[in-house]
């Protein structure tokens, strides 16, 4: 039986308790998914109400059209963004967060709050 390492444990030595390998792998996979460049910003824009491509482009400043298209496709394939084709003239493509996407954004909110409290730490970090 393995025990969990908590945030309180992290204040001491992180090696005092065995790490649950399954939880560690799930945490790593989640952080890599959410931390992929532009993914979190796109998901946040979706939860904030962006639906059309141009709205995402406006909300996620600095992203190229090509990369926005790629990330939207990836997020759709992963089940975080739903894509709807509206048969109008011209055809409209609408994107919206899935329940899993909205839940992931809600789970990331504390990280944003941490960032607001620790801007000095974030500003010291080299850009990726």
pLDDT value of position 16: 62
pLDDT value of position 120: 87
Domain ranges of the chain: 35-115
pLDDT value of position 15: 56
| Distance of alpha carbon 67 from alpha carbon 81, whole angstroms | 15
* Mean pLDDT of successive 10-residue stretches along the chain, which has 128 residues: 48 63 86 88 96 96 96 95 95 96 93 88 74
Q: Which fold has domain 35-115?
A: Arc Repressor Mutant, subunit A (1.10.10)
| Distance of alpha carbon 64 from alpha carbon 36, whole angstroms | 15
Q: What is the mean pLDDT of the chain?
A: 86
């Amino acid at each position: 039986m393995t025990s969990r390492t908590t945030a309180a444990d992290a204040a001491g030595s992180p090696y005092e308790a065995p790490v649950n390998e399954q939880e560690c792998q799930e945490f790593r996979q989640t952080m890599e998914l959410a931390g992929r460049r532009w993914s979190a910003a796109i998901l946040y824009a979706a939860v904030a109400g962006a639906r059309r491509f141009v709205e995402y482009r406006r909300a996620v400043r600095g992203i190229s059209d090509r990369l926005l298209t790629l990330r939207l496709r990836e997020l759709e394939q992963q089940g975080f963004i739903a894509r709807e084709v509206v048969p109008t003239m011209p055809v409209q493509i609408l994107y919206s967060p899935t329940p899993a996407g909205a839940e992931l954004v809600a789970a990331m909110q504390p990280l944003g709050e941490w960032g607001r409290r620790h801007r000095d730490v974030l500003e010291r970090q080299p850009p990726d």
